Amino acid sequence: MRIRAERDDLADVLSRAARAVGARSALPILSGLLIEVVGKTLRVTGTDLEVTIRTELEVEVLEEGRTVIPARLATEAVRKLPSGAVVLQAGEGEVEITGGGPRFRFRELSVADYPKVAEPDLEGAVTVDGAAFAAALGQVSVAASTDDARPILTGVFFESEAGALRLVATDSYRLAVRNVPSVTAELAGLVPVRALKELGRTIGADELKVAMGTREATFASARGTLTTRLIEGTFPNYRQLIPDSYPNRLTVSRDSLLESIDRASLVAEDHIPVRMHLQDGGMELSVTRQDVGGETEHVEGVYVGDEMTIAFNSRYLGDGVTVLDGDEVVLEVVDPLKPGVLRGSGEDFLYLLMPVRL
């Protein structure tokens, strides 16, 4: 196998596929990237057996063939070469990377050991606007859990609501629900948030194809494909958690609320709740931390409802306000022990969060 390509192009396809390669692989072969050269195309595959990323590049093919190269070393080596043409070749157990003078040699990994990774299955794929889809995913992903002890909560649930796509995530303390009315398709599955977070960085593009199988989800763009295993299990029945009505409603400026939360978070750190005393003319936001001190401030706004004090985890609250769109934020609450709901200007997104009982 032997190809020639521009340094920047080659570094790009290698590094994007390498994002699927785990930092510590159980199998040594998984620390490698599979390189396949056919026709005019260089195809790069990286996988940790959960997530597989494939990228492609048109190159000057000097000799077709296949090899497995060490992912991190080879990617970094290409990056560190002087700009211009780079030659990548493999044979006789050795990978050689040269360009503009310097020459790297690495031990080749065995092609025969590389796991069989299924070809991306794009059957029944729908095409979505890449930027809008990424924005929707960004809004719900904050609510997903990163705790592997409860795998079901580490995914974003894709389902269909009134014929259109709906994305849902929860870590059991907050819940984010995003309708994507522009995508009218029946897609259903629980997709690991870890894979979705890689989507933008690896194959993000203006146009994206999304296909949901029974065991895997596949995303494809002009820049490559990302396939991920779906999480098995039943997503919690979240619908019943969303209260039907909210007697109390606070409307404040999103920016000033964000700034207030940011100030309070300085004192609050992760586990200290932020107290909101909701009253006419807005709210008193305060935080007190034993042995440290506290912070208090008035956040101007419009409050309609019973005067009350409700407390939230500062990070969960901040996450929710950050992902809302629009200049104003609406917080609706029932009582200090029931979930509060944050909404922005759009009708399509809702962020529900459980209070902290004082």
**Which residues form the interface with other proteins (CB under 8 A)?**
149, 170, 172-175, 236, 238, 241, 272-273, 290, 311, 313, 337, 339, 352, 354-358
Whose tokens are 């200090």? That residue is: 336
**Residue placing its CB nearer to other proteins in the complex, 222 or 337:** 337
**Residue placing its CB nearer to other proteins in the complex, 144 or 217:** 144
Q: What is d(CA 125, CA 177) in angstroms, rounded to the nearest whole number? A: 23
**Residue placing its CB nearer to other proteins in the complex, 132 or 292:** 292
Contact assessment for residue 58 and residue 3, using Cβ atoms and an 8 Å cutoff:
no
User: Which positions ≥6 away from 26 have C-beta within 8 Å?
Assistant: none
Residue 27 per-residue DSSP state: S
**Residue placing its CB nearer to other proteins in the complex, 187 or 231:** 231
Least Å from the CB of residue 133 to other proteins: 26
Paired strand residues for 19: none
**Residue placing its CB nearer to other proteins in the complex, 253 or 288:** 288
Least Å from the CB of residue 352 to other proteins: 8
User: Which positions ≥6 away from 187 have C-beta within 8 Å?
Assistant: 126, 158, 159, 160, 165, 210, 212
Which of these, 153, 165, 181, lies nearest to 238 by C-alpha position?
Answer: 153
**Residue placing its CB nearer to other proteins in the complex, 49 or 354:** 354
Please report the DSSP string for 121-177 in residue order. --TT-EEEEHHHHHHHHHHHHTTS---TTSGGGGEEEEEEETTEEEEEEE-SSEEEE
Q: Which amino acid is at 68?
A: V
**126-129 sheet: strands from edge to edge:** 65-70, 32-38, 41-47, 51-58, 224-229, 216-221, 207-212, 126-129
Least Å from the CB of residue 339 to other proteins: 7
Q: What is d(CA 117, CA 227) in angstroms, rounded to the nearest whole number? A: 10
Least Å from the CB of residue 230 to other proteins: 22
Least Å from the CB of residue 283 to other proteins: 18
**Residue placing its CB nearer to other proteins in the complex, 101 or 293:** 293
Least Å from the CB of residue 202 to other proteins: 31
Least Å from the CB of residue 172 to other proteins: 5
